[in-house]
């Protein structure tokens, strides 16, 4: 399996570069208000926009691109009034677009496709994460569609509580797929739920996660959290921060963080031990291009 190539590179201590934001880039590029249905409705209406976005991240040097599947789970589709029986079809469409971009760029075997599992319950709210069995059944449906449409591995993203990250990892491992688990941090640098990184790592690795990451967290807080996570984890760790703030009705982009300033934070994460680096909400292909210089630093 091609994922072996990624694992071999991580085992050598190389820095891998992820892509940057998908959702906020769709908002920015479409010029439409950043409503919660936009990533899915724009993909259905303008698939070329998503393909182009993936292509730009590949051009910027990403080793991994993330399929636009973050909001394609059953409750997320239901919430925005899309027939939830379309989970498999819409998930497969997102994976196909990523693959078309990669293969169109002639980078098969070099750039890998992560299938994203977005958070369940209200975003960023650890108290609203559903029970483990509910998370598991939602994620299983999506992972099944991703496995048959050919993702290289599963990336559980923006988990506010260890429980939902575990569900994503378990769903992936059951289907024979590699899983990376990415959680968000609170302002003190702990897991958003207050759970200690040591416990989170222990449980996630025993469930079969191959890497543990922190995402969608302010860059300076992420630096604090990464010091703790890297110390606790025997498996590779990674980071991709947000440079935009969600204001309840949409994304607020300004004042924007320059790619060079973002690189300064990413260097702190690599110094702390991170080997998987990318961008979350508010980042662009230019932020990912800037990260290229970290490949030689590790
Ligand atoms: Zn984000």
Between the CA of 117 and the centroid of ligand 1 the distance, in Å, is 13
Residue 150, classified by CB atoms within 10 Å of its CB into exposed (0-12), middle (13-18) or buried (19+), is middle
Between the CA of 70 and the centroid of ligand 1 the distance, in Å, is 10
Interacting residues of 213 by C-beta distance below 8 A, sequence separation 6+: 180, 181, 182, 183, 237, 238, 239, 240, 276
Between the CA of 23 and the centroid of ligand 1 the distance, in Å, is 8
| pLDDT surpasses 60 at 1 | no
pLDDT digits (tens, 9 = 90+) for 170-222: 999 999 999 999 999 999 999 999 999 999 999 999 999 999 999 999 999 99
The reported pLDDT for the residue numbered 228 is 97
Between the CA of 241 and the centroid of ligand 1 the distance, in Å, is 7
* CATH annotation of 3-296: 3.20.20.330
pTM attached to this predicted model: 0.96
Instruction: Name the average pLDDT for the chain.
Output: 94
Between the CA of 147 and the centroid of ligand 1 the distance, in Å, is 24
Segments making up each domain of the chain, as ranges = 3-296
Alpha helices, DSSP H, located in the chain: 3-11, 23-30, 38-45, 47-59, 74-79, 87-104, 132-149, 162-174, 197-207, 219-232, 259-272, 285-291
Between the CA of 285 and the centroid of ligand 1 the distance, in Å, is 15
Phi, psi at 257, each rounded to 5°: -95, 125
Between the CA of 281 and the centroid of ligand 1 the distance, in Å, is 4
The reported pLDDT for the residue numbered 246 is 61
| 111/213 Cα distance (integer angstroms) | 19
- In order of 96, 105, 113, 161, 265, the CA distances from 51 in angstroms are 9, 11, 13, 31, 29
The reported pLDDT for the residue numbered 244 is 77
Tokens 């998908």 found at: 22
| 20/150 Cα distance (integer angstroms) | 21
| 116/207 Cα distance (integer angstroms) | 18
| pLDDT surpasses 90 at 34 | no
The reported pLDDT for the residue numbered 281 is 93
Between the CA of 114 and the centroid of ligand 1 the distance, in Å, is 15
Listed residue (124, 125, 103) closest to 112, CA to CA: 103
| pLDDT surpasses 90 at 255 | no
The reported pLDDT for the residue numbered 39 is 94
Between the CA of 96 and the centroid of ligand 1 the distance, in Å, is 22
Alpha carbon 93 to its chain centroid, in Å, reads 18
% of the chain residues with pLDDT over 70:
95
Tokens 């491992």 found at: 173
Between the CA of 120 and the centroid of ligand 1 the distance, in Å, is 14
């Amino acid at each position: 399996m091609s994922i072996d190539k990624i694992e071999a590179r991580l085992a050598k201590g190389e820095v891998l570069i992820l892509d940057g934001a998908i959702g906020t880039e769709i908002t920015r590029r479409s010029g439409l208000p950043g409503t919660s249905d936009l990533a899915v409705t724009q993909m259905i209406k303008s698939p070329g926009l998503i393909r182009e976005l993936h292509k730009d991240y590949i051009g910027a040097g990403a080793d991994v691109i993330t399929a636009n599947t973050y909001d394609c789970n059953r409750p997320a589709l239901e919430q925005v009034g899309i027939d939830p029986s379309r989970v498999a079809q819409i998930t497969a469409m997102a994976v196909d677009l990523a693959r078309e971009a990669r293969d169109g760029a002639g980078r098969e075997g070099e750039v890998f496709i992560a299938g994203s599992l977005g958070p369940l319950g209200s975003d960023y709210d650890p108290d609203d994460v559903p029970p483990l069995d509910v998370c598991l059944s939602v994620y299983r449906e999506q992972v099944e569609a991703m496995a048959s449409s050919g993702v290289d591995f599963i990336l559980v993203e923006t988990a506010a509580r260890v429980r939902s990250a575990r569900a994503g990892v378990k769903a992936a491992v059951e289907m024979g797929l590699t899983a990376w688990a990415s959680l968000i941090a609170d302002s003190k640098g702990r897991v958003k739920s207050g759970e200690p990184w040591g416990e989170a790592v222990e449980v996630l690795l025993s469930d079969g996660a191959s890497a543990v990451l922190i995402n969608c967290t302010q860059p300076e807080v992420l630096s604090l959290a990464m010091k703790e996570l890297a110390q606790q984890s025997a498996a590779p760790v990674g980071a991709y921060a947000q440079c935009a703030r969600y204001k309840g009705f949409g994304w607020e982009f300004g004042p924007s963080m320059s790619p060079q300033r973002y690189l300064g934070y990413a260097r702190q994460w690599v110094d702390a031990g991170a080997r998987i680096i990318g961008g979350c909400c508010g980042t662009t292909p230019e932020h990912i291009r800037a990260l290229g210089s970290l490949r030689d630093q590790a």
